[in-house]
Amino acid sequence: MQLKKIVKQASAVGLACSLAVSSLTAMAETIKVGVLHSLSGTMAISETTLKDTMLMLIEEQNKKGGLLGKQLEAVVVDPASDWPLFAERTRELIEQHEVDAIFGCWTSVSRKAVLPVIEELNGLLFYPVQFEGEESSRNVFYTGAAPNQQAIPAVDYLKDEMGVERWVLAGTDYVYPRTTNRILEAYLKSNGVAESDIMINYTPFGHSDWQNIVAEIKRFGGTGKKTAVVSTINGDANVPFYRELGNQGVSSLDIPVVAFSVGEEELSGIDARPLVGHMAAWNYFMSEETAENEAFIKTWHAFIGDTDRVTNDPMEAHYVGFNMWVKAVEKAGTTDSDAVIDAIVGVEVPNLTGGVSTMLPNHYITKPVLIGEIQEDGQFLTVSQTDDLVPGESWSRYLEGSKDLVADWTAPINCGNYNTETETCLGSEAQQ
């Protein structure tokens, strides 16, 4: 009897161990995807929707059978609009959760915090937001707009189509607005704009008291020269900024504003009627009438359970980037970082404006450029669009120290900042 009892106990232990191993094996049979977006803090107004977008894309891919015969599993973390925390959460995603790719960040300062970690651990980051360029990393794929795909075309539109002569470059005080405005200032001066006709202003994240700044913009624009504001203001500071424009009667007819970080999501929280005619430069608007966009919006509304929820440009960038990653993994036959990096250059996927975007050797993509006017319902009416998709440039041709650089992560260059004059790689791919 005692022997039988021991045998039964041993069998039970063996069964428990077997179940535990089976459970671990089952867990290992998922492909983990990291989602690195702020769900709290000043950037939550913009980034929470991107987290939801990734969950939708992962769910839709699983409905198709997953990837490489496995289901995808989202691992969501909240870096809470705290830039050093982005680096910590990235390390957590790769080392603890063993994710195969990360989709995330909004601000450039968060991406800069993540960059050394993603390179050290040889991870993959898909970055979905417009930014200043001046960077190309082997481990990062930039699916948002570079300055030549947003900022420069927006200035050209204001200059050529609206006759703007004076320029207010207003931004949040961090790397993206400062570097973008440095590029724009050099570009404007190269087009004959005097320094006295350029006003530059920076405010901190979450800035709420815009009364004096808007009054100063009005004074700057009251000289008789057509004036425009080029806005790189980010996050929830946009709401009081636009509200103050309305309070002080700054209409688009007087001083038009073209924004690079205001889309449908930000406008959904305010009364857009006083802002009609102000503009944004993006690579996608919800109002685009294509079959791809119609299907995307329908899927989004079904997933989120709210037909009033809007879509926006960074969501489309995640859509394109995610599908590029899926296609590269299928092409490589593995989620291994090195294999995916080799496979992804040249991958083409449909975007939502009716074109096909391509991953370039510099890890930027091709994108259309759209200028849209704000409508009363918070949507955009496209008033200008490029005929062809524009290849993203990693280094600005208007900045000294950058104009001779190119990025190409294929042989024989295999470098993020290759100097075409000296024919040398300058070291760190993120060096500026």
Is residue 74 located within the same domain as residue 113? yes
pLDDT at 24 over 70: no
pLDDT at 431 (0 to 100): 40
Q: Quick check: is 5 in a domain? A: no
From residue 17, how far is each of 9, 10, 21, 30 by CA, in Å?
12, 10, 6, 21
Instruction: Tell me if the pTM is above 0.95.
Output: no
Residue 210 phi, psi (nearest 5) = -100, 5
pLDDT at 271 (0 to 100): 81
CA distance 94 to 32: 10
Question: Percentage of residues in the chain with pLDDT exceeding 70?
Answer: 92
| pLDDT bracket for residue 23 (50, 70, 90) | very low
Is residue 236 located within the same domain as residue 297? no
Is residue 102 located within the same domain as residue 179? no
**pLDDT, tens digit (0-9, with 9 covering 90-100), for 404-422:** 999 999 999 999 999 999 9
Q: Quick check: is 218 in a domain? A: yes
Mean pLDDT of the chain: 92
Is residue 202 located within the same domain as residue 218? yes
Is residue 81 located within the same domain as residue 177? no
- Among 227-231, 243-247, 268-272, 399-403, the range scoring the smallest mean pLDDT is 268-272
With CA atoms as reference, report the closest residue to 54 among 70, 69, 32.
32
Residue 431: other Cβ atoms inside 10 A:
13
Q: Quick check: is 412 in a domain? A: no
Task: Identify the domain boundary among 282, 310, 329.
Answer: 282
Q: Quick check: is 324 in a domain? A: yes
Residue 73 CA, chain-centre distance (Å), reads 22
Instruction: Evaluate whether 134 touches 178 at the Cβ level (below 8 Å).
Output: no
Is residue 42 located within the same domain as residue 135? yes
Q: How many domains does the chain have?
A: 2
**Once rounded to an integer, what is the mean pLDDT over residues 314-342?**
98
| pLDDT bracket for residue 274 (50, 70, 90) | confident
Is residue 188 located within the same domain as residue 125? no
pLDDT at 50 (0 to 100): 98
Q: Quick check: is 70 in a domain? A: yes
Amino acid residing at 15: L
Q: Name the residue range of residue 116's domain.
A: 28-145+289-366
Is residue 160 located within the same domain as residue 271? yes
**Once rounded to an integer, what is the mean pLDDT over residues 13-30?**
49
| pLDDT bracket for residue 238 (50, 70, 90) | confident
Q: Which two tokens stand for residue 170?
A: 């207003």
From residue 284, how far is each of 204, 263, 317 by CA, in Å?
27, 10, 9
Residue 133 phi, psi (nearest 5) = 70, -145
Q: Which two tokens stand for residue 380?
A: 């955009």
- Among 95-109, 245-259, 285-299, 304-318, the range scoring the smallest mean pLDDT is 245-259
CA distance 176 to 84: 17
Mean pLDDT: which of 14-23, 157-166, 230-239, 270-279 is highest? 157-166
Q: Quick check: is 401 in a domain? A: no
Is residue 32 located within the same domain as residue 118? yes
CA distance 140 to 90: 13
Task: Identify the domain boundary among 229, 261, 282.
Answer: 282
Instruction: Evaluate whether 261 touches 236 at the Cβ level (below 8 Å).
Output: no
**Once rounded to an integer, what is the mean pLDDT over residues 76-82?**
98
Instruction: Evaluate whether 176 touches 237 at the Cβ level (below 8 Å).
Output: no
Is residue 103 located within the same domain as residue 203? no
pLDDT at 27 over 50: no
Q: Quick check: is 192 in a domain? A: yes
What angle do the packed helices 313-332 and 44-63 form, to 10 degrees?
A: 40
Instruction: Please tell me which residue, 11 or 283, carries the higher pLDDT value.
Output: 283
With CA atoms as reference, report the closest residue to 392 among 361, 416, 417, 371.
361
Is residue 241 located within the same domain as residue 295? no
Write down the residue that tokens 């100063």 correspond to: 216
**pLDDT, tens digit (0-9, with 9 covering 90-100), for 143-170:** 999 999 999 999 999 999 999 999 999 9
Is residue 225 located within the same domain as residue 349? no
pLDDT at 193 over 80: yes
From residue 71, how far is each of 36, 243, 299, 422 by CA, in Å?
20, 45, 19, 48
With CA atoms as reference, report the closest residue to 154 among 230, 95, 220.
230
- Give the CATH number for residue 311: 3.40.50.2300
Residue 160: other Cβ atoms inside 10 A:
10
Q: Please spell the DSSP secondary structure of 154-217, one letter per residue.
A: HHHHHHHHS---EEEEEEESSHHHHHHHHHHHHHHHHTT--GGGEEEEEE-TT----HHHHHHH
Task: Identify the domain boundary among 218, 250, 282.
Answer: 282
Q: Quick check: is 392 in a domain? A: no
